[in-house]
A and B are shown apart, each in its own frame.
Chain A
Amino acid sequence: MEAIQGLALGFSHAFSLTNLAWAMLGCLLGTAVGVLPGIGPALTIALLLPITFQVSATGAFILFCGVFYGAMYGGSTTSILLNAPGESGSIITALEGARMARNGRAGPALATAAIGSFVAGTVGTLGLAFLGPVIVDLALALGPAEYFALMVLCFVTVSAVLGGSALRGLASLGFGLALGLVGIDLQTGQPRMTFGVPELLDGVNVVLVAVALFAVGEALHMAWRHRDGKAEVLPVGSVMLSRTDLRRSFWPWIRGAGLGFPFGVMPAGGTEMPTMLSYYAERKLAKPEHRHEFGTTGAIEGVAGPEAANNAAAAGILVPMLTLGLPTSATAAIMLSAFQSYGIQPGPLLFQSQGELVWTLIASLFIANVMLVVLNLPLVGLWVRILKIPQPQLYAGILVFATIGTYGISNSVVDLILLYAIGIIGMFMRRFDFPVAPVVIGMILGPMAEQALRQALTISEGDWSVFLTRPGSAAIMGLALLALAGPRLWALWARRG
């Protein structure tokens, strides 16, 4: 019950006027940063670091966490409206979200993303407050072998986005895996497929590829196939969630949050894997009468689940940071350096030595979550108006937005060339019915799986049996096999019976 006392103390501090003001400022800034292309929470917090010379530690961290949570809310907006994800955790949201927007359901998609973010943020923050130290010890028991098994499980989700032709889908996946190879190989430090271009040493940015294939590819394809004379306006439709939408969103929110939080806590988990698993799960669990909406008109389950998973994972990332002082994401690393500029050494003793600060921070996260949902729901009505712009102008705007955002990531012309080169590939993929989602999934999972595999094999001295002799790894591998073969066996059995 230490946690309840801590939270009570935290709320008593967080409800001061200055702290509420910091939280509000952080939420506003974070939402803006999430919507703007190219600038993420890590960069924003880094730019805000100089305030640590002036502002009290509590105020500064409330601001930073507001930015962090706010960016997660804002990140889905561009995914849904413009098919241009702002961060890697929102890529899966774009799959169904953008389709919903094209079919007059942008309002419900944005609303389910906002409420889903609230539900997941609350679940994640509760997890942080009550389960943090326990779950982090469980997460530490996972080694590279288990991570590799988890990635194999995630690869199964590719089967949900392969589209009509398995050959075309697998070709797309291969293209993604090849793109993922570009850059310095972590295990040997050697550059691969960089062709002497220094900007490629750090690899190709996955958000850039997602924006190029989804948004730029779509816009170019539109320009290519567009016929003169009829300037279409996309239907906007209802802005709010209907009762059916709410019913269809509820369980995906809960499942997404439940999946996302543990992945966030895992030191090598991240936000991408749970969004993929959530998408796969929702696609398989959807009621038969809604299943046809996936990949066609856009299914609300496919937005609610991944978006909740993304936000719960973001909350989970704070667990290793606050309980062990481990920076497991770029944002957490920058927050840790902010702790150091206050002379606070974040580590396993942080809860004891800085209890007041930590609990005020956690209480502020609850407050920020409420602020964000109150802020974002009315914004939905405003955002959907963007879609009232006639299509040629809208797509031109998307191109401008994607270009500025990409340049903003790195200020590099090489990235702009990549954006349009991959965009043109995306255009042809659309023309010839190649699915684009497997490219992005392959690009995210490929390098992660390769690293985990090689780390596991280095530790085991080259013994491949580790993946089956370690119980955790073997269990996840079994699950992957079940996920791949299960539905087919079930169909076979059902037909016979």
Chain B
Amino acid sequence: MRRRSLLAGAALAPLGLALPALAQPRFASLSMFIPAGPGGGWDGLGRAIEQVARGAGLVGSFAFENVGGAGGTVGLPRFVAQRRGRGDALMVAGSVMVGAVLTNRSPVGLKDVTPIARMTAEVGVIVVPAQSDIRDIQALLALLREAPGRVSVAGGSAGGTDHIVLGQILRALGRQAREGSYVAFAGGGPAQAAILGAQVRAGISGFSEFAEQIRAGRMRALATTGETRSDPAIPTLKESGVDVVASNWRGVFGAPGITAQQRAALTALMTELVGLPAWRELLATRGWEDAFLAGPAFEQFIQADTAATEAVLRDLGLVA
């Protein structure tokens, strides 16, 4: 790792000479821990932070470590054990980990790391196959209110974000979360295929995952789960009379046991990063929604999210 940062330093040296206006980097090097495999959403956020932070000279070099599996609960204990007290370590995590810690009964949770900032969020979308006789969200809600077991809904793994949205809808309709007929698929591909092939009545997933199918007319979007409309043509659940607002958020966390100064330095770094034009540009290309939230507000958000998730999971019978 030492050689890597030396090399990176050597590569950056001419850049520093060419741009004398750039200040000293805030961090000579940062270690970025991704509790998921390369190529996924958390990995994408981590590498996007690297791209922008290094481009702006905020951080000299990054060392990445990916430890994937089980919604992040395999990597989290390793981050907590190996990076304790290190002010130059970051971990990417998000709402998926909140649920995974609860369902996997992991002894280590987000309470054991230091929240720095929420970075992005993605609203969910509820769809039906294009040929479905369910025309709008009210029709689906009526069916769910009447006989939830009759409406098979496809989504990602059990106890995950999509499952929780269905549970919240059922609770808001005065039903029990566990009455739903949720069909869990491993990954977005098989779930999308089941919806496109009309094997299930409806589906729930992140908006970006289904956006192309909706645009091509192969799926009909009924509602999104945001506070406001993400697409002007698609209503939100909230305006349709169901008080459910949910999003799949991703953020960064520091190591446990770091000092207040170390924590402030990491927060300042992320605050400066999200102010850069390059970050705005990157959000636009990737289609990510800016959800920056730092400090005590972020901590309160995590607590509220954990409590809401736990309530649904308990209702589903997935958490004792």
Using CB atoms and an 8 Å cutoff, list the residues of chain A in contact with chain B.
42-43, 45-47, 49-50, 53, 139-144, 184-191, 198-199, 201-202, 267-268, 320, 324-330, 332-334, 337, 340-341, 343, 345-349, 410-411, 451, 455, 458-459, 461
Contact = CB atoms under 8 A, between A and B. Distances in A.
Contacts of A455: 183-185
Interface stretch (B14-22, B152-160, B292-300): B152-160
A491 to B, nearest CB: 39
Nearest to B44: A337
A341 B286 contact: yes
Nearest to A461: B149
A451 B200 CA distance: 15
A340 B187 CA distance: 17
A230 B211 CA distance: 67
A316 B40 CA distance: 22
A328 B186 CA distance: 10
Interface of B: 37-40, 43-44, 47, 51, 67-70, 73-74, 77, 103-106, 149-150, 152, 157-160, 163, 181-190, 192-194, 196-197, 199-200, 211-213, 215-216, 218, 285-287, 318
A187 B181 CA distance: 11
B188 A186 contact: no
Given A191-B104, A191-B105, A333-B39, A144 B199 contact: yes
A343 B288 CA distance: 11
Nearest to B318: A189
B125 to A, nearest CB: 14
B192 A459 contact: no
B39 A46 contact: yes
A143 B157 contact: no
Nearest to B285: A343
Contact of B70 (A184, A325, A332, A337): A184
Given A320-B193, A333-B189, 9 more contacts: A46-B39, A53-B51, A142-B197, A186-B186, A189-B157, A198-B74, A326-B192, A340-B286, A411-B67
A190 B194 CA distance: 23
B15 to A, nearest CB: 15
Which 7 A-B pairs rank lowest in CB-CB distance, beginning with the nearest? A347-B212, A46-B38, A189-B159, A267-B193, A140-B197, A201-B70, A143-B199
Contact of A458 (B69, B183, B188): B183
B216 A347 contact: yes
B216 A459 contact: no
B186 A451 contact: yes
Contact of A347 (B43, B104, B215): B215
A186 B158 contact: yes
A328 B189 CA distance: 5
Contacts of B47: 49-50
B110 to A, nearest CB: 15
A410 to B, nearest CB: 8
Contacts of B38: 43, 46-47, 49, 334
A199 B69 CA distance: 8
A464 B163 CA distance: 24
B197 A42 contact: no
A349 B213 CA distance: 9
B130 to A, nearest CB: 11
Nearest to B284: A343
Nearest to B214: A347
Contacts of A47: 38
A326 B189 contact: yes
Contacts of A326: 188-189, 192-193, 196
Nearest to B150: A461
Contacts of A191: 104-105
A349 B285 CA distance: 18
Contacts of B199: 143-144, 459
A395 B121 CA distance: 52
B248 to A, nearest CB: 16
A215 B192 CA distance: 38
A333 B187 contact: yes
B197 A46 contact: no
A461 B286 CA distance: 39
A325 B212 contact: yes
B283 to A, nearest CB: 12
A184 B39 contact: no
B158 A267 contact: no
B193 A461 contact: no
Given A186-B158, A328-B193, A333-B187, A458 B216 contact: no
Contacts of B73: 198, 201
A327 B37 contact: no
Contact of B212 (A332, A341, A345): A345
A56 to B, nearest CB: 16
B318 A348 contact: no
Contacts of B158: 185-189
A459 B51 CA distance: 44
Contacts of A186: 157-158, 184-186
Nearest to B218: A348
B197 A349 contact: no
Contact of A188 (B106, B211, B215, B318): B318
A202 to B, nearest CB: 4
23 contacts: A46-B37, A46-B38, A142-B197, A143-B194, A189-B103, A189-B158, A189-B163, A189-B184, A190-B318, A191-B104, A198-B104, A202-B68, A202-B69, A326-B188, A326-B196, A337-B39, A340-B286, A340-B287, A341-B285, A455-B184, A458-B182, A459-B152, A461-B149
